[in-house]
Structure 1
Amino acid sequence: MDSLVSVIIPAYNSENTIKRCIQSVINQSYKNLEVIVLNDCSSDKTIEVVKTIDDSRIKLINLEKNMGVSYCRNKGKKLAKGEYIQFIDSDDYVELEMLKEVITFIEDNDLDVCIFGMNVIYEKYKREYSINCKEQLKSSVGNKTEAFRILLNSGLLNATWNKIYKRKIIENIEYPEFTSGEDLQFNLETFLITDNFGIINKAYYNYIQYNPQSLSHCFIANNEDRCNILEKYYADLFKKYDLKTEDDLNFLKKMRDIDKLGFISNMYRKGSDFSFHAKKLLVLRLQSDEFKNITRNDGLNYTLMKILKFKIFACFKVAIFTCLFFFGKRLRNFLFFLKSKFSK
C-alpha cells in the first residue's frame, strides 16, 4: 500500500483556516501524498500563510482571477498525479488516520469509491454532531440495490469531501458551474458510472459551519434549472439500481418537495433579484393544495415551510416598521401639536 493520493484544496480568503486544513493532511500517518492548493484570487493573506508551511508535497497554484470552487476542483483534478483523489474545503480539516485506513479499505476490497462519515462542527456555538452510516459495507458483497439504498438514506451522498475516488473513475467527470449542488451532481454522475463502492462507518472529516457569507445563505441564480438537472440524475440512478419500492419512491418525492421549497426559500435570500410582485405571488402559492400536501406529508418539509412563512411575515414586518420610521416623527409632532393646543 504505497499509492499516491492527490488532495485538492480550493482556497478563497482562507487565511484563518488554511494552515489547519493543510497540516491535517501533511501530518497524516499515510505519507505518499501531494497537496494541490488552488488559491482562487484571494484578497487576504492566504498565499502568505500557505508559503509558511515547509513541505515539498504542497503545490500552490495561484489563479489570476476568481473562478469559483467548481473551476478550482476541475483544474486540480487535471493537475493531480495520484491514483486516488480527495477534495477538501479550506475551512475544514481531517483526522490523522484517515488516509491510511481509507486507502487500506479501498485496496483490500478493490473499490472505486470509498465513503466515510463526518463531524459537523459549529465552532462559534461550540456544538457538533456526527453524520455516519450505521454499518460498514461493500457494494460488491450482497445486494447492490440495498447497498445504494443505505447510502441514499445515510446522509453521506451529497458531499464530495467525505469520499476518496479512484482517479480513473472520475477523470472524465466535471464539476458543473453551479453555485450550489455541484457536489451532488458530481456524485450522481460518479455512481452512474460505477457501482463498486464501500462505506466506512467512521467520521474522518470535520466540516466547519460558521461562515455567514457561505453560499448556503446567499441567493442562488438559476436554481430551478439546477433542480431539474439533479432530478434527472436521480431518476437515472433509481433506474440503474432498481429502486422501486414505496419507500424508494417516497424518498424521491421528498427530494423533489425539498427542491420546491428550496426554490421558494431562495427567493428571500440575500442578493435575490426577484421582484416584490413575484414574492407576492409566492404567498398565494403557499395557500395551494400542492404545498399544503407537502407540509402534511413530511416533517422536515413542514419545518422548512414554517421557516419560509416566518420569512414572509418578517418581510411584511420590515415594511411596516419602515413606514413607522419615516412617518413616526411627523406623527409624534402632530400629537404634540394637538396636546399643546387642547391644554391651553
Structure 2
Amino acid sequence: MTTDKNPLVSIIVPVYNTQVYLERCIKSLLNQEYPNIEIILIDDGSSDNSLFICEKYQTDDRVVIIHQENSGVSMARNNGLDRARGDYISFVDSDDFVSPYFISHAVGEIEKHDADIVLFDFYQIKSGKSVLPVPDFHKKYKNELRKGNINIKKLLIADFVPNYMWNKLFKRSLWETVRFPVQYKYEDLFILIHVLDRANVIVYLPERLYYYNRDNVNSITSFLSIMQPFTRYCHFKALYERYDILSSVSWGET
C-alpha cells in the first residue's frame, strides 16, 4: 500500500510485561520522520500494565492493537505478519527504541538499490544512561558488508553478524509463506536462513538506527536467560540446522 509515493511500512512489536520501557518504545515509533507506517502492537497476555499502555495510543490511526493469550514472541510476530499490510516489514522489541530516521533512512536505502533486505547498525543501552556501540562487526567485516548480497548472507548464516530481526528492513514478499517457529527460543536464528534464501539483493547501511536495551533481565538475550538449559539447546539446534542448510545452498559469485 503506497501513499504519496511513500510505501507503507508495517512495524511489528511483540509486547510482554515491558511496562517500564514500552511507552518510550511507542513514542519513538510515533515520532518517525517517515509518514506512512502502521505500528502493530501485539500484547502477548501481559500481566502488568503493558496492554493498558498500548491502549492509550489506539486513537492514533497508525496504531493497531492485537491481544493474544500468552503464547510467546514467535506467535506474536506471526500474528503481526498475518495482520501487516505494508510493502515493507520491520520488527521492534518493546523494551527497545529507535531513531526518528529508523524507517525513512532504511526505506531510502532499500529503494535506492531495489534491495530485498537492508541491514543497519545499532547502539546498546546499558544501565539506563550509557549508550554503548555494538561489537565492531561493521569495521571487522567492512569490505564484505560493502559488497553486499552473498557476502552479507555468509556473515549472517555463520552468525558473525547478529541475526536480530530488528536491525533490518524486509520486503514483505520474503515473508509470504514464512513464519516463526513457536516451539523454540532463538527464533531469529531458526527463521532468518529461510528469509535470506529468498533474497536476491541485500545491502548494508552503516548507520545506527536502533537502540537495543541490555537492561531488561527478562529478555531472551539477558545473561540469566542465555544460561537456561532449554535456551542453550535452542541456540545449538538453530546453528546446527543452519550449517546443514548452508552446505546445500548454491552461493554463486561473490
Pick the TM interval, shorter chain: 0.7 to 0.9
Shift of 1:222: 7.6
Show structure 2 runs of 5+ residues with no match.
none
Cα distance in 2, alignment partners of residues 200 and 222 from structure 1:
31
- 1:115–1:199 Cα contact (<8 Å) kept: yes
Partner residue in 2 for 1:283: none
State the secondary structure of the residue aligned to 1:206: strand
Deviation digits for residues 203-259 of structure 1 (CA, Å, limit 9, x no counterpart): 11110011223334232438546623431222322542559xxxxxxxxxxxxxxxx
- Kindly indicate whether the alpha-carbon contact (under 8 Å) linking 2:186 and 2:234 is maintained by their aligned counterparts in 1: no
Judging changes above 3 Å, is the alpha-carbon distance between structure 1 residues 153 and 192 closer, same or farther for their aligned structure 2 residues?
A: closer
Find the counterpart in structure 1 of residue 195 from structure 2: 190
| Greater helix proportion | 1
* Paired residues of 2:15 and 2:46 also in contact (CA < 8 A): yes
Answer 1 or 2: which has greater strand percent.
2
In the superposition, the TM-score normalised over structure 2's length comes to 0.84
Specify the structure having the higher radius of gyration (Cα): 1
2:153–2:196 CA contact under 8 A, matched in 1: no
1:240 aligns with 2:249: yes
Displaced runs of 4 or more, over 6 A:
none
Structure 2 match to 1:176: 181
**Percent same amino acid at aligned positions?**
29
CA distance in 2, matches of 1:174, 1:62: 19
Is residue 186–residue 238 contact of structure 2 (8 Å, CA) maintained in 1? no
Q: How many residue pairs get matched?
A: 238
Flag the structure with more relative contact order, 1 or 2, with Cα contacts below 8 A and sequence separation at least 6: 2
In 2, Cα distance between equivalents of 1:45 and 1:224: 32
> Counterparts of 2:122 and 2:109 in 1: how far apart (Å)?
17
> Counterpart of 2:165?
160
Secondary structure at the residue paired with 2:240?
helix
* Separation (CA, whole Å) in 1 of partners of 2:158 and 2:244: 16
Match of 1:90?
94
In the alignment, structure 1 residue 129 sits paired with structure 2 residue 133:
yes
137 and 179 in structure 1: CA distance in 2 versus 1, 3 angstrom threshold:
same
Match of 1:221 among 230, 233, 240: 230
Query: What is the letter of the counterpart of residue 92 of structure 2?
Result: I
Residue matched to 1:42 = 46
**TM-score, normalization: structure 1?**
0.63
Residue matched to 1:212: 217
Match of 1:271 in 2: none
Render the CA deviation track for 1:167-200: whole Å, top value 9, x for unaligned.
1112211111245211111111111222421111
1:114-162 CA-to-partner distances (Å, cap 9, x unmatched) read: 111111111347352234523463535xxx3x34345567843411111
Q: Which moved more, 1:26-35 or 1:220-229?
A: 220-229
Supply the AA of the counterpart residue of 1:56.
Answer: D
SS of the residue corresponding to residue 231 of structure 1 reads helix
What runs of 5+ residues in structure 1 fail to find an aligned partner? 244-344
Which residue number corresponds to residue 66 of structure 1?
Answer: 70
